[in-house]
């Protein structure tokens, strides 16, 4: 349709899809409408024609009772919070339906014998995110627009925790001297403490060091990590924050803005607690944790089992996790840096045996998990996933490998978006 202006269409939105868009039917084909809600009659204009058809929302002719006024002025442009126009209760219902349908359709899993537990909520729909990645564009910090790399300048973001909410607008003028190579700015908060990471194209240059030093001296951040595309990372100030480990407050997790950490701090404690509830009593067991990060689940798990092997590909995360364990004298965790699949394959070759696995893979999932769990003699497995398609494919493989899908628990860590964390319990 390049170069053409399409004729407006009137359609009825039927449901919300796994990527957050409203789905209507036109000429017998699915039509994806960002911003449309189930039950709404809308006028749209086709913008993408091919295997997937998409349209822009031009007018709402009949409005859903689940629609609300978004609590952010950028909601119609920013790609970060795609469901901010949907009431919180309706968001949860949609997420539950999307995950269940994906498990049945993609994973071909029969949920009739699976315990489906009530979704655990995040408690509030704004002011919850303790981390964010913004992009430097033409002297402003920006998010990307929906399904695009179109920059959306942001001065304040109500999705962020109080320590971060107005930081983008305050940072922008202070980063103007950092040079044109500045690419992304990572924000991370723990309580009132803030740390940053600045990624740049090429090496770290003096202008960037001066900018980072100014941010620390001006008390906008305790520390800054400089991340060049070529060369080693540099630290300015004290860029590592500490936070109590979920369910194990005596262990102080180490957090850095360039490392992975769950965005919702309070919700993360719920996520860990629910995961351990699913695993059940485990005092004498050996546990394998795959995609361990810097210890979100690790130390709570270590308090319940005899030994944990924690596998993580990020050298930064392993360093932070191991340091937290040493400081708290946690002696039953062995940290291994490497690709989860390759490390697990090595454990299989060594004839290692584990009673349980806790896996928290990236959005792409863990296709080899079923094979590896079988080869390692695993009896119980908790899978943590945030992508309905990937977790459904992995669930199907586990069932085919002889595991029983016992329980499904959703934890809503991403209010105002179509994302949700799912905990899946499997057993032999």
Residues carrying an active site annotation? 386
Q: Cα(174)–Cα(214) distance, rounded to whole angstroms?
A: 8
Cα torsion angle, 332, 338, 344, 346, sign: negative
The answer to whether 80 and 143 have CB atoms below 8 angstroms apart is yes
> Do strands 54-62 and 29-33 pair parallel, antiparallel, or not at all (unpaired)?
parallel
Q: Cα(349)–Cα(351) distance, rounded to whole angstroms?
A: 5
Q: Cα(413)–Cα(420) distance, rounded to whole angstroms?
A: 6
> Do strands 380-385 and 404-411 pair parallel, antiparallel, or not at all (unpaired)?
unpaired
Nearest residue to 287 (alpha-carbon basis) of 260, 306, 264, 271 = 306
The residues pairing with 195 across neighbouring beta strands, listed in sequence order, are 188, 223
């Amino acid at each position: 349709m390049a170069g053409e202006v399409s004729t407006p269409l009137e359609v009825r939105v039927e449901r919300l899809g796994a990527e957050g868009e409203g789905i209507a039917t036109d000429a017998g084909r699915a039509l994806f409408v960002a911003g449309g809600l189930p039950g709404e009659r809308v006028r749209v204009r086709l913008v993408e024609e091919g295997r997937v058809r998409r349209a822009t929302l031009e007018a709402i002719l009949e409005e859903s009772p689940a629609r609300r006024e978004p609590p952010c002025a950028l909601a119609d442009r920013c790609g970060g919070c795609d469901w901010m126009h949907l009431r919180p209760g309706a968001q949860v219902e949609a997420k539950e339906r999307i995950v269940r349908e994906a498990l049945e359709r993609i994973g071909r899993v029969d949920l009739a014998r699976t315990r489906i537990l009530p979704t655990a909520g995040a408690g509030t729909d704004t002011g919850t995110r303790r981390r964010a990645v913004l992009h430097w564009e033409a002297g402003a910090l920006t998010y990307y627009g929906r399904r695009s790399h179109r920059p959306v300048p942001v001065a304040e973001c109500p999705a962020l925790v109080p320590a971060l909410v107005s930081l983008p607008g305050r940072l922008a003028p202070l980063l103007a001297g950092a040079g044109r190579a500045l690419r992304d700015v990572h924000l991370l908060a723990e309580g009132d403490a803030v740390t940053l990471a600045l990624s740049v194209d090429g090496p770290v240059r003096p202008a960037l060091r001066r900018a980072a030093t100014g941010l620390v001296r001006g008390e906008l951040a305790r520390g800054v990590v400089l991340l060049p595309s070529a060369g080693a990372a540099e630290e300015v100030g004290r860029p590592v924050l500490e936070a109590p480990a979920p369910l194990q407050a005596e262990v102080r997790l180490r957090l850095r803005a360039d490392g992975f950490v769950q965005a919702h701090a309070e919700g993360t404690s719920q996520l860990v607690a629910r995961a351990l509830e699913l695993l059940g009593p485990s005092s004498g067991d050996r546990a394998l944790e795959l995609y361990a990060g810097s210890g979100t689940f690790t130390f709570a798990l270590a308090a319940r089992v005899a030994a944990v092997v924690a596998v993580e590909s990020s050298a930064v995360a392993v360093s932070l996790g191991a340091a937290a364990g040493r400081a708290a004298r946690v002696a039953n965790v062995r940290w291994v840096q490497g690709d989860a699949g390759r490390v697990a394959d090595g454990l299989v070759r060594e004839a290692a045996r584990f009673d349980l696995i806790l896996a928290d893979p990236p959005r792409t999932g863990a296709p080899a998990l079923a094979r590896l769990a079988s080869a390692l003699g695993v009896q119980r497995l908790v899978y943590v996933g945030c992508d309905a398609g990937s977790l459904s494919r992995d669930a199907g493989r586990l069932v085919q490998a002889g595991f029983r899908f016992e329980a499904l628990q959703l934890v809503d860590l991403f209010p105002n978006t179509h994302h949700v964390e799912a905990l899946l319990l499997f057993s032999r």
